[in-house]
Chains A and B, each alone.
Chain A
């Protein structure tokens, strides 16, 4: 068979037509996408009930479809949200709250005080601030359809702060909130500014939210989690794009508008793209930290924990984990960087480059005799994995017998719960992180507890620190609380309940056509944002 020139031309034309068809079809369907925002969140929610999980993205989902009684503004001051009026009795033991007009569920029913009472009770089962409140509560009851009260056994000046603290107190329908907090609510019906579009959402693949046209925003301007939640788009879609390179390519091509946590190695290329913008939404950032098993050798000995505190060269850890110094800084205060309670009390341990000699001496003083130290290394969390490898190397240099235990995060969350020795499948060290803002909430932040086995993984114990922490909810003024923070920090860095490895901020990436994103710690509100042409 011979192929003529005419055949070749015909084949080329046919191929060209075939390749051009898809882009023509795309142009015809793209017109409706104008008021839809497509986002890739830091993680894709596996479960939607924000009281059933502490996952940050599930809380962002909660912010979209539920509403809250109070909310924090951008200065972290408490502002009423669903509440219209509230007051406290003269003896400061009874708080009364009245709901504002126009609150309704996505199914059309009105939000009532009974919904609020049930939601508070459910939230208090799992939120540490809620548990603290319930210890001091005599009764929570509805007065009428729009009014309810909380009667306390003793005054609790921080009550509004607790109701506004994180994870947020989302108000659910009474019949949903009556479920135990360990049982998932799957209905996704709230009273918030977005409606969950179940028909278009595909578990594990994408989630679709539609603007709630019945939602009545507050009159105030949006400010942090507070103020008027005005939705400027018709639809928001969360896409589960697992591969960062694909997400970046989709952002470049305009198929998505936003990536909440682009990987560190993509930041410079995003920065150089004229259509894209990096934006740090959580300006306080997060703190990379090390938990030590205080129940087992060698870290049951305070000297061994102090050895780690002295060993750590924060800049080296930050460099290994985050690369670009623009996005990280060192941290010495237990109460975070640039918070009202940040202070310099008892921070002499901090030395540029660390102090390996001091650490070695302290480890010897702890009576360390070469016991195996197991360091859990999350292979699916690059920053923590890099930091784990560096820590293992640094520990070996001072004579520690370290074994890295690599696994995915799923394996670590199971193993970290084991209190026994490493021979019994336990652990010695693992790296995690928490919000810088969270350090201002020692009364609710589980990381800052030091009550032994009742506390968080690592189970540090210090009665002295705990007695100071208990006073946090009792002091009234900022000055008193700052003084208390200094005392707590002084004690904390002596018994070393955990070790900070450094602080970092996580830039988000967006197309320049997406504006008005609200920057707050950990969670992403979706009201206020809008798409502009171009």
Chain B
């Protein structure tokens, strides 16, 4: 097990290195000039050239790359060309909103999604199953921003129950923090509930048709015991995979929800950085997110051993 984890940790570093190299080259080859963005619409070519020179953007690409890698090895992800602040500082400022949103979303999505999936499989073909399947199809098909604006209209503008937008740090109190997260979390949860419910239903249906389930029912096990002790445990592996991938995807993919609800998270940071061609910020965030993605996948792989004793690393 320890060897396996160690090997996976090394692969994480390798993946981050590859992502770093790819992103660095992609950004330099893509059109756009940070100096021109900084200088503004009315700037002359002369002024832009001066800024480029000052920022070292005229240095040959290999030199820029070596300098960047050197800084990363020292634990420095660079400094934003625009804000003039270290990338790590900018990321740390944006981490709490994204992590809060992602964790709350996953808690709601997993709880509701797994429950819906189990109930749908248990009542397969019945009215409840059809309603839940219809919800899953709807939830998976409707774009996040449509759900978001719908909720803003009814829960914020019409009723004033909740704020339209923004984020309050948890240090300002649990109430305001939660108040600002309810609408974005519900919005973001809808497709994930649908996704997890569908996978859970399919996985449970497969397990519920097995002989040992029939045996368990025949020996007098309760419905609860059959569903949760016998079926869910054996159906858990694909559900865990989906949950892990969803969580990893959430960290880097909450940008639309963050935009609709004006949450200053990682997604907004990277989109703004792409629009302004803030190379160090884009590179830094993508490297961190890719590392996180690999680590979450590792955690999911390890969690298989908890639900299926036959799996060993």
Q: Which residues of A contact B (CB under 8 A)?
A: 19-23, 25-26, 29, 44, 46-47, 52-56, 58, 126, 128, 180-184, 186, 202-206, 239-243, 245-246, 249-250, 252-253, 255, 380, 407-408, 410-411, 413-415, 417, 432, 434, 446-447, 456-457
Q: Does B206 contact A (CB under 8 A)?
A: no
Across the interface, do A46 and B82 meet the contact criterion of CB distance under 8 Å? Answer: yes
- The stretch of B11-19, B236-244, B267-275, B288-296 in contact with A is B267-275
Task: Report which residue of B51, B173, B268, B278 has the largest number of chain A beta carbons within 10 angstroms of its beta carbon.
Answer: B51
Across the interface, do B47 and A250 meet the contact criterion of CB distance under 8 Å? Answer: no
The residue of chain A having its C-beta at the shortest distance from the C-beta of B37 within the complex is A410
Q: Does B112 contact A (CB under 8 A)?
A: no
Across the interface, do A26 and B38 meet the contact criterion of CB distance under 8 Å? Answer: no
Q: Which of A19, A29, A126, A183 lies in contact with B47, CB distance below 8 A?
A: A126
What are 22 A-B pairs at a CB distance below 8 A?
A23-B160, A29-B176, A47-B83, A56-B40, A181-B47, A182-B50, A182-B53, A183-B54, A203-B80, A204-B264, A205-B93, A242-B262, A243-B262, A249-B156, A249-B164, A250-B262, A253-B157, A380-B275, A410-B277, A413-B41, A414-B32, A414-B36
New A-B pairs, 6, CB < 8 Å, besides A23-B160, A58-B40, A204-B272: A22-B161, A29-B176, A249-B153, A249-B156, A411-B31, A434-B42
Across the interface, do B165 and A255 meet the contact criterion of CB distance under 8 Å? Answer: yes
Across the interface, do A408 and B84 meet the contact criterion of CB distance under 8 Å? Answer: no
Q: Does B307 contact A (CB under 8 A)?
A: no
The residue of chain B having its C-beta at the shortest distance from the C-beta of A419 within the complex is B45
Q: Which residues of B contact A (CB under 8 A)?
A: 31-33, 36-45, 47-48, 50-51, 53-54, 80, 82-85, 90, 93-94, 149, 152-153, 156-157, 160-166, 173, 175-176, 178-179, 182, 259-262, 264, 268-269, 271-272, 275-278
- In the bound complex, residues from chain B placing their C-beta under 8 Å from that of A246 are 152, 164-165, 259-262
> Within the assembled complex, what's the spacing in Å between the Cα atoms of A223 and B269?
38
> Within the assembled complex, what's the spacing in Å between the Cα atoms of A56 and B42?
10
- In the bound complex, residues from chain B placing their C-beta under 8 Å from that of A182 are 47, 50-51, 53-54
- In the bound complex, residues from chain B placing their C-beta under 8 Å from that of A249 are 149, 152-153, 156-157, 164-165
Q: How many Cβ-Cβ contacts under 8 Å join chain A to chain B?
A: 166
- In the bound complex, residues from chain A placing their C-beta under 8 Å from that of B179 are 21-23, 25-26
Q: Which of B41, B90, B175, B277 lies in contact with A203, CB distance below 8 A?
A: B90
Across the interface, do B165 and A250 meet the contact criterion of CB distance under 8 Å? Answer: yes
Q: With A180-B54, A203-B85 given, is the CB distance from A25 to B163 under 8 Å?
A: no
Shortest CB-to-CB span from A249 to chain B, Å, is 5
Q: With A53-B38, A250-B164 given, is the CB distance from A21 to B83 under 8 Å?
A: no
Q: With A26-B176, A417-B48, A446-B42 given, is the CB distance from A253 to B163 under 8 Å?
A: yes
Across the interface, do B156 and A253 meet the contact criterion of CB distance under 8 Å? Answer: yes
- In the bound complex, residues from chain A placing their C-beta under 8 Å from that of B85 are 203
Across the interface, do B90 and A204 meet the contact criterion of CB distance under 8 Å? Answer: yes
Across the interface, do A432 and B41 meet the contact criterion of CB distance under 8 Å? Answer: yes
Q: Which of B32, B83, B163, B271 lies in contact with A26, CB distance below 8 A?
A: B163
The residue of chain B having its C-beta at the shortest distance from the C-beta of A179 within the complex is B54
- In the bound complex, residues from chain A placing their C-beta under 8 Å from that of B80 are 203
> Within the assembled complex, what's the spacing in Å between the Cα atoms of A25 and B84?
36
Across the interface, do B166 and A54 meet the contact criterion of CB distance under 8 Å? Answer: no
Across the interface, do B164 and A255 meet the contact criterion of CB distance under 8 Å? Answer: yes
Across the interface, do A413 and B36 meet the contact criterion of CB distance under 8 Å? Answer: yes
Q: With A249-B164, A408-B275 given, is the CB distance from A417 to B262 under 8 Å?
A: no
Task: Report which residue of B39, B269, B277 has the largest number of chain A beta carbons within 10 angstroms of its beta carbon.
Answer: B39
> Within the assembled complex, what's the spacing in Å between the Cα atoms of A415 and B220?
75
> Within the assembled complex, what's the spacing in Å between the Cα atoms of A186 and B80?
12
Shortest CB-to-CB span from B83 to chain A, Å, is 4
> Within the assembled complex, what's the spacing in Å between the Cα atoms of A243 and B275?
14
- In the bound complex, residues from chain A placing their C-beta under 8 Å from that of B161 are 19-20, 22-23
> Within the assembled complex, what's the spacing in Å between the Cα atoms of A183 and B264?
28
- In the bound complex, residues from chain A placing their C-beta under 8 Å from that of B276 are 46, 410
Shortest CB-to-CB span from A60 to chain B, Å, is 13
- In the bound complex, residues from chain A placing their C-beta under 8 Å from that of B41 are 54-55, 413, 432
- In the bound complex, residues from chain B placing their C-beta under 8 Å from that of A184 are 38, 84
The residue of chain B having its C-beta at the shortest distance from the C-beta of A59 within the complex is B40
Across the interface, do B157 and A205 meet the contact criterion of CB distance under 8 Å? Answer: no
Across the interface, do A411 and B32 meet the contact criterion of CB distance under 8 Å? Answer: yes
> Within the assembled complex, what's the spacing in Å between the Cα atoms of A446 and B90?
35
> Within the assembled complex, what's the spacing in Å between the Cα atoms of A407 and B30?
11
- In the bound complex, residues from chain B placing their C-beta under 8 Å from that of A202 are 93, 264
- In the bound complex, residues from chain B placing their C-beta under 8 Å from that of A252 are 157, 164
Q: Which of B83, B84, B262 lies in contact with A241, CB distance below 8 A?
A: B262
Closest CB pairs A-B (n = 9): A54-B40, A22-B179, A205-B264, A182-B50, A203-B83, A25-B175, A413-B36, A414-B33, A411-B31
Q: With A204-B269, A242-B262, A249-B152 given, is the CB distance from A255 to B175 under 8 Å?
A: no
- In the bound complex, residues from chain B placing their C-beta under 8 Å from that of A417 are 33, 36, 45, 48
> Within the assembled complex, what's the spacing in Å between the Cα atoms of A450 and B38?
25
> Within the assembled complex, what's the spacing in Å between the Cα atoms of A380 and B276?
12
> Within the assembled complex, what's the spacing in Å between the Cα atoms of A498 and B219?
88
Across the interface, do A242 and B175 meet the contact criterion of CB distance under 8 Å? Answer: no
- In the bound complex, residues from chain B placing their C-beta under 8 Å from that of A242 are 259, 262, 268, 271-272
Shortest CB-to-CB span from A464 to chain B, Å, is 23
- In the bound complex, residues from chain A placing their C-beta under 8 Å from that of B149 are 245, 249
- In the bound complex, residues from chain A placing their C-beta under 8 Å from that of B38 are 46-47, 52-53, 184
Across the interface, do B275 and A204 meet the contact criterion of CB distance under 8 Å? Answer: no
Shortest CB-to-CB span from B256 to chain A, Å, is 9
Across the interface, do B54 and A414 meet the contact criterion of CB distance under 8 Å? Answer: no
- In the bound complex, residues from chain B placing their C-beta under 8 Å from that of A126 are 43, 47
Shortest CB-to-CB span from A289 to chain B, Å, is 12
- In the bound complex, residues from chain B placing their C-beta under 8 Å from that of A58 are 40
Shortest CB-to-CB span from B206 to chain A, Å, is 26
Across the interface, do A413 and B152 meet the contact criterion of CB distance under 8 Å? Answer: no
Shortest CB-to-CB span from A3 to chain B, Å, is 14
The residue of chain B having its C-beta at the shortest distance from the C-beta of A28 within the complex is B175
> Within the assembled complex, what's the spacing in Å between the Cα atoms of A246 and B36?
29
> Within the assembled complex, what's the spacing in Å between the Cα atoms of A204 and B276?
11
> Within the assembled complex, what's the spacing in Å between the Cα atoms of A471 and B41?
27
- In the bound complex, residues from chain A placing their C-beta under 8 Å from that of B53 are 182
Across the interface, do A241 and B47 meet the contact criterion of CB distance under 8 Å? Answer: no
- In the bound complex, residues from chain B placing their C-beta under 8 Å from that of A46 are 37-38, 82-83, 272, 276, 278
Shortest CB-to-CB span from B185 to chain A, Å, is 12
> Within the assembled complex, what's the spacing in Å between the Cα atoms of A126 and B40?
12
> Within the assembled complex, what's the spacing in Å between the Cα atoms of A457 and B44?
8
> Within the assembled complex, what's the spacing in Å between the Cα atoms of A410 and B264?
22
- In the bound complex, residues from chain B placing their C-beta under 8 Å from that of A253 are 156-157, 160, 163-164
